[in-house]
């Protein structure tokens, strides 16, 4: 297969080019117009497939539910927003429910389905701080434990690739060191840690921050706290770019502070995504969804995940937060691949990488999506 465009995103910029695909991989990149093509996308953008490392569900389904059918429907729907690979993300549930959910995701990973690839699992909880738990269920929060984590990893068939933890509760940073040493990306989140504790957690193996500014102790000029460590370190940082979780001006400040290599766009979407306004029970929590798509714990002002689509997040970054299109695309492609250590397979249009490709118009609407060289949208 050969596709081409006058704007192919290569090495952080757009150039006219043809992308050749063979057996699911990018076999070569050649000058625009050199060969006969299967599809000519003209002035539309061809970019790497988006990677969502923090997403809980959509369409009424949640990663906390041990339903293979729901998970398969989810992965089939994601390419419509440009997502070609993702980490189903759990929330804080009972130990039994969590194990069932992990086993379900691991089982579906072994099956062959057309749609977005499951790269692994993001375990968000139960090792979180009570004061910054957000929508996570209070009675199921637990102190970080290497033994408990090993049990989850066994249930997941070693598919947990990303772990959110409140570092201040991890005694001697034992879990952070163990997980990072075993190849799991550790992210600081749902945390009230001091600046010093967060920086020590980074020194002991953590390398990212979960949904920046949300569910973490805020920055003060005399007590910089978790956000101070997030802003001043060279660690990765997730951002939910929907206009509700973080003000667009603060999003711009974050991009200025972190540069174009360390920001990761995530949706943090939950099961209400794609549903009409109403009240729903998602992950054993009652959630209200308003007409603007904002989800909250029912009867409170606590934001509960989002209903964001990845391409909408890129549009927001460019149109509302004054981020360049190039940097916005990097935040959805190469940067999440790098935080997972898979940049030689995902996140780039380059020889030998998976042929996960998305075609966008100037408004960042998805007009085509390819997963491993197969057009799925």
Query: If pLDDT is split at 50, 70 and 90, which confidence band does 322 have?
Result: very high
Distance CA 275, CA 281 (A): 12
pLDDT in tens, 2-11: 999 999 999 9
174, pLDDT greater than 90? yes
Question: Which of these, 79, 132, 73, lies nearest to 108 by C-alpha position?
Answer: 73
- Asked whether the beta carbons of 173 and 199 are under 8 A apart, the reply is no
pLDDT value for 265: 98
pLDDT value for 292: 85
Distance CA 215, CA 195 (A): 15
pLDDT value for 304: 86
**How much is the average pLDDT of 312-341?**
98
Q: What does residue 42 show for φ and ψ, rounded to 5 degrees?
A: 55, -120
Enumerate the domain spans of the chain. 49-346
pLDDT value for 299: 86
The catalytic position among 64, 170, 268, 356 is 268
More confident residue, 284 or 258: 258
What's the chain look like in SS3?
Answer: CEEEEEEEEECCEEEEEEEEEECCEEEEEEECCCCCCCEECCCCEEEECEEEEEECEECCEECCCCCHHHHHHHHHHHHHHCEEEEEEEECCCCHHHHHHHHHHHHHHHCCCCCCCEECCEEEECCCCCHHHCCCCCHHHCCCCCHHHHHHHHHHCCCCEEEEEECHHHCHHHHHHHHHHHCCCEEEECCECCCHHHHHHHHHCCCCEECCCCCCECCCECCECHHHHHHHHCCCEEEEECCCCCCCHHHHHHHHHHHCCCCEEEECCECCCCCCCCEEEEECCEEEEECCCCCEEECCCCCECCECCCHHHHHHHHHHCCCCCHHHHHHHHCHHHHHHHCCCCCCCCCCCCCECCEEEECCCCCEEEEEECCEECC
307, pLDDT greater than 90? yes
Question: Which of these, 11, 12, 53, 55, lies nearest to 342 by C-alpha position?
Answer: 53
pLDDT value for 285: 87
Question: Which of these, 206, 213, 254, 210, lies nearest to 232 by C-alpha position?
Answer: 254
pLDDT in tens, 265-299: 999 999 999 999 999 988 888 999 998 888 998 98
Picking from 100-109, 132-141, 301-310, 316-325, which range would have the lowest pLDDT averaged per residue? 301-310
**How much is the average pLDDT of 26-47?**
97
Average pLDDT, the chain: 97
Question: Which of these, 259, 266, 277, 355, lies nearest to 308 by C-alpha position?
Answer: 266
- Asked whether the beta carbons of 359 and 351 are under 8 A apart, the reply is no
pLDDT value for 139: 97
pLDDT in tens, 178-226: 999 999 999 999 999 999 999 999 999 999 999 999 999 999 999 999 9
Fold observed for domain 49-346 = TIM Barrel (3.20.20)
- Sign of the C-alpha dihedral, residues 202, 203, 206, 207? positive
372, pLDDT greater than 90? yes
- Asked whether the beta carbons of 272 and 307 are under 8 A apart, the reply is yes
Residue whose token pair is 């429910």: 97
* pTM (two decimals): 0.97
**How much is the average pLDDT of 157-164?**
98
**How much is the average pLDDT of 40-54?**
98
Instruction: Tell me if residue 268 is catalytic.
Output: yes
């Amino acid at each position: 297969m050969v596709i081409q465009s006058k704007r192919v995103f290569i090495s952080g910029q757009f150039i006219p080019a043809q992308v050749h695909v063979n057996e699911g991989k990018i076999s070569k990149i050649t000058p625009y117009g050199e060969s006969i093509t299967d599809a000519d996308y003209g002035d539309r953008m061809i970019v790497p497939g988006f990677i969502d490392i923090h997403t809980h569900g959509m369409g009424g389904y949640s990663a906390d539910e041990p339903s293979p059918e729901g998970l398969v429907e989810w992965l089939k729907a994601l390419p419509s927003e440009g997502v070609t690979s993702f980490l189903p993300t759990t929330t804080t549930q009972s130990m039994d429910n969590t194990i069932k959910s992990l086993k379900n995701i691991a089982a579906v990973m072994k099956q062959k389905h057309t749609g977005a690839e499951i790269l692994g699992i993001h375990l968000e909880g139960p090792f979180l701080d009570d004061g910054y738990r957000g929508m996570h269920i209070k009675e199921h929060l637990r102190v970080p434990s290497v033994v408990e984590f090993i049990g989850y990893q066994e249930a997941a068939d070693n598919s947990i690739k990303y772990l959110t933890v409140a570092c201040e509760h991890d005694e001697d940073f034992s879990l952070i060191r163990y997980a990072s040493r075993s190849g799991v990306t550790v992210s600081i989140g749902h945390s009230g840690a001091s600046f010093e504790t967060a920086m020590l957690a980074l020194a002991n193996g953590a390398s990212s921050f979960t949904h920046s500014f949300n569910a973490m102790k805020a920055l003060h000029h005399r007590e910089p706290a978790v956000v101070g460590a997030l802003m001043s370190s060279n660690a990765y940082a997730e951002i939910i770019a929907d206009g509700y979780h973080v003000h667009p001006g603060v999003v711009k400040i974050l991009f200025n502070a972190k540069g174009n290599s360390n920001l990761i766009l995530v949706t943090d979407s939950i099961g209400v995504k794609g549903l009409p306004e109403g009240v729903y029970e998602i992950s054993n929590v009652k959630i209200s969804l308003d007409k603007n798509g904002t989800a909250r714990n029912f009867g409170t002002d606590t934001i509960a995940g989002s209903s964001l689509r990845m391409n909408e997040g890129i549009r927001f970054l460019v149109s509302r937060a004054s981020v360049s299109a190039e940097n916005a695309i990097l935040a959805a492609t190469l940067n999440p691949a790098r935080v997972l250590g898979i940049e030689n397979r995902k996140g780039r249009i380059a020889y030998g990488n998976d042929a996960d490709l998305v075609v966008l118009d100037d408004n960042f609407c998805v007009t085509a999506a390819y997963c491993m060289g197969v057009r799925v949208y």
